[in-house]
């Protein structure tokens, strides 16, 4: 037993200290997985236990103004990532882009943006909190929670180990999609009287989300079989994650827009 504990601890230290990206090692919420585990635990406890019980005998909060500003903030944050990443995008290669761990300005730009993307994923967790405060618990689906947790964890892994190279494609593509998605949510909260018109756009937002994961799958899957100098262990995690999201979003799309003719999505998705 003692040997097992020692081996486990040594493996943990190796993963924490020896495999790290030295540039980001001391940045906020990066060094240790313990804060990540704590935030995840608090997130699950809050949205699955404490907050639903807190709201059980209370009326729904009117958060329309809060949501307008929150979604506007999300648009700005995601837009910033896309714009700043584009200044160094010419240094990447779709065929193979190993992580540049040097202090090269473009490499450091990607490292900082990877960390910034990770911080945005922390802010994203508020989506679920707002659902429950508005008594829309049905919106806090397994897909919703799994997606937010998964992207938060991906943000930490990327910042901790591979803040650049291949991992940048996740941040750029996902942030671009979020500019569109949160713009939709912002207008839905800002102009509720235009509900019918705005909701027609939701189908295309879901299509864009699906296209996002398909694109990432097409980028990363072939690299499992190449000699690109990018950690295969991370690709083994990312590729099934993308495939899982394709299946889950595809299932939602089918039931909401094909089988349900869009009615289910219009009733449920009011963010």
**pLDDT, tens digit, 9 for 90 and up, residues 191-242:** 777 666 666 778 888 899 999 999 999 999 999 888 888 888 888 888 988 8
In a domain, 211, yes or no: yes
In a domain, 174, yes or no: yes
**pLDDT, tens digit, 9 for 90 and up, residues 100-128:** 999 999 999 999 999 999 999 999 999 99
Tokens of 54: 């807190």
Give catalytic residues, as residue numbers. 147
Domain assignment of residue 156, given as a range: 61-268
**Which of 22, 231, 171, 173 shows the shortest CA–CA distance to 108?**
22
pLDDT number for residue 195: 64
The Cα 77–Cα 57 span in angstroms is 35
The Cα 53–Cα 47 span in angstroms is 10
Q: What angle do CA 103, 153, 23 make, to 5 degrees?
A: 15
**pLDDT, tens digit, 9 for 90 and up, residues 170-194:** 999 999 999 999 999 998 888 777 6
pLDDT at 261 over 70: no
Question: Do the Cβ atoms of 156 and 29 come closer than 8 Å?
Answer: yes
In a domain, 40, yes or no: no
In a domain, 213, yes or no: yes
The Cα 128–Cα 183 span in angstroms is 18
In a domain, 209, yes or no: yes
DSSP result, 13-70: HIIIIISS-TTTTTSTTTS-SHHHHHHHHHHHHIIIIIHHHHHTTSPPP--HHHHHHH
In the chain, the number of structural domains is 1
Tokens of 48: 């699955």
The Cα 258–Cα 252 span in angstroms is 10
Q: What angle do CA 254, 242, 14 make, to 5 degrees?
A: 155
Start-end of H helices in 191-253: 195-199, 202-220, 232-253
């Amino acid at each position: 037993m003692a040997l097992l504990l020692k081996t486990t601890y040594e493996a943990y230290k190796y993963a924490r200290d020896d495999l790290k990206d030295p540039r980001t090692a001391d940045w906020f919420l990066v060094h240790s997985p313990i804060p990540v585990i704590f935030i995840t635990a608090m997130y699950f406890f809050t949205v699955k236990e404490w907050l639903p019980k807190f709201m059980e005998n209370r009326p729904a909060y009117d958060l329309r103004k809060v949501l307008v500003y929150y979604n506007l903030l999300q648009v700005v944050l995601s837009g910033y990532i896309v714009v700043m990443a584009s200044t160094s995008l010419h240094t990447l290669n779709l065929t193979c882009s190993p992580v540049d761990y040097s202090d090269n300005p473009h490499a450091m730009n990607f490292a900082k943006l990877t960390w910034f993307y990770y911080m945005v994923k922390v802010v994203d967790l508020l989506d679920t909190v707002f659902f429950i405060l508005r008594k829309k618990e049905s919106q806090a689906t397994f897909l919703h929670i799994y997606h937010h947790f998964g992207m938060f964890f991906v943000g930490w892994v990327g910042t901790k180990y591979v803040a650049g190279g291949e991992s940048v494609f996740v941040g750029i593509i996902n942030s671009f999609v979020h500019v569109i998605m949160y713009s939709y949510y912002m207008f839905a909260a800002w102009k509720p009287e235009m509900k019918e018109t705005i909701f027609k756009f939701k189908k295309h937002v879901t299509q864009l989300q699906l296209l996002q994961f398909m694109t990432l799958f097409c980028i990363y899957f072939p690299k499992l079989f190449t000699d690109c100098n990018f950690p295969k262990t991370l690709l083994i995690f990312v590729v099934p994650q993308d495939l899982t999201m394709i299946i889950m979003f595809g299932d939602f799309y089918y039931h909401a827009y094909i089988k349900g003719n869009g009615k289910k999505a219009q009733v449920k998705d009011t963010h």
